[in-house]
């Protein structure tokens, strides 16, 4: 069995998608449709920057999605490898869950772009700049990270945001609490705490205002039947029910990204091969979670061509 997986925030970089756009009309169509949906030349920003503008959450989220869906459409249109014929399930890390939903036709491309633009704006606006922070805990498992977060909170918010793999957990919350957590890492036998260059404390309870905005937006958004099962971030389990997923997407804004558990669940359900579309971020997390898993990352046309050759 094979899973198509999709990266989250932090995988954006200047030049993303430019080679695909030059080589494939399928990719150009994706970037053009996203630009039209957002009434913004996002593709110009993706291809040429400036970096500080691309890194803004409201731009990075739809840009990462567009790049991954361009990869998916190149596979389908140029090489005949439609997602529902090539993969058995999908999953995405944080915003990547929206990309995964687009890939299985639950959302159309324009809807996905608009939802992610709104999601980025809502998450940025939820907490004043400078009040929140996130940190990656290196050499930490979920038990150590949870204990550290509880000790560092001291009346503030300090929560596990991403359980990425057995050696990396991300915490999120008030800036003071995150700084205390970094100072305490050695006491919890954690190798290192690294402050992340993010503009807001994602996936913690401080994001409730953003969750409320997304609940309102998603209530008025049609979610179609999934072409393939999706492993949801907050449950680490497969689902195909659009109404259940609507609620989970709201919960995801404040909830933990259970990526390590999602990988283990897919493996337990028979997935042997994981193919990351549009990045090289979540694939390595899969490898660190289960060394026996086969992991492929598709970023360039050369990557896509090599994968297509394997499939024929």
- Residues that are catalytic: 94, 203
Query: Smallest Cα–Cα separation from 52: which of 200, 199, 201?
Result: 199
Q: How far apart are CA 307 and CA 296, in angstroms?
A: 8
Q: How far apart are CA 66 and CA 11, in angstroms?
A: 12
Strand runs (DSSP E) across 34-88, as ranges? none
Contact 289, 17 (CB under 8 A): no
Indicate the helix (H) or strand (E) that contains 5: strand 2-6
Radius of gyration of the chain (CA): 18
Distances (CA, A) of 186 to 143, 168, 193, 251: 15, 15, 9, 32
Q: How far apart are CA 90 and CA 222, in angstroms?
A: 20
Sequence-distant contacts of 51-54: CB under 8 A, at least 24 apart: 51/13, 51/14, 54/12, 54/13, 54/14
């Amino acid at each position: 069995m094979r899973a198509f997986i999709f990266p989250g925030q932090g995988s954006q970089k200047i030049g993303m998608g430019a080679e695909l756009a030059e080589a494939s009309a399928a990719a150009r169509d994706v970037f053009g449709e996203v630009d039209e949906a957002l009434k913004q030349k996002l593709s110009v920003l993706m291809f040429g920057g400036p970096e500080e503008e691309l890194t803004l959450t409201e731009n990075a989220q739809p840009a990462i999605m567009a790049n991954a869906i361009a990869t998916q459409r190149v596979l389908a249109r140029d090489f005949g490898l439609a997602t529902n014929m090539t993969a058995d399930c999908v999953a995405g890390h944080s915003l990547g869950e929206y990309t995964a939903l687009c890939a299985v036709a639950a959302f159309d491309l324009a809807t996905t772009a608009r939802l992610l633009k709104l999601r980025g704006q809502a998450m940025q606006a939820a907490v004043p700049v400078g009040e929140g922070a996130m940190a990656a805990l290196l050499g930490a498992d979920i038990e150590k990270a949870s204990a550290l977060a509880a000790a560092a909170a001291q009346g503030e918010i300090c929560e596990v945001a991403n359980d990425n793999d057995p050696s990396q957990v991300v915490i999120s919350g008030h800036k003071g609490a995150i700084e205390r957590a970094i100072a305490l890492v050695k006491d919890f036998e954690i190798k290192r705490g690294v402050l992340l260059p993010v503009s807001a404390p994602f996936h913690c309870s401080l994001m409730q205002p953003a969750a409320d905005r997304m609940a309102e937006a998603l209530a008025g958004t049609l979610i179609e039947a999934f072409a393939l099962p999706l492993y949801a971030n907050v449950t680490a389990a497969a689902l195909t029910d659009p109404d259940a997923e609507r609620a989970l997407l709201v919960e995801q804004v404040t909830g933990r990204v259970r990526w390590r558990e999602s990988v283990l669940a897919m493996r337990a359900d028979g997935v042997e091969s994981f193919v990351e579309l549009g990045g090289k971020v979540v694939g390595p997390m899969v490898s660190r979670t289960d060394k026996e898993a086969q992991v492929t990352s598709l970023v360039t046309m050369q990557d896509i061509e090599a994968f297509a050759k394997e499939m024929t």
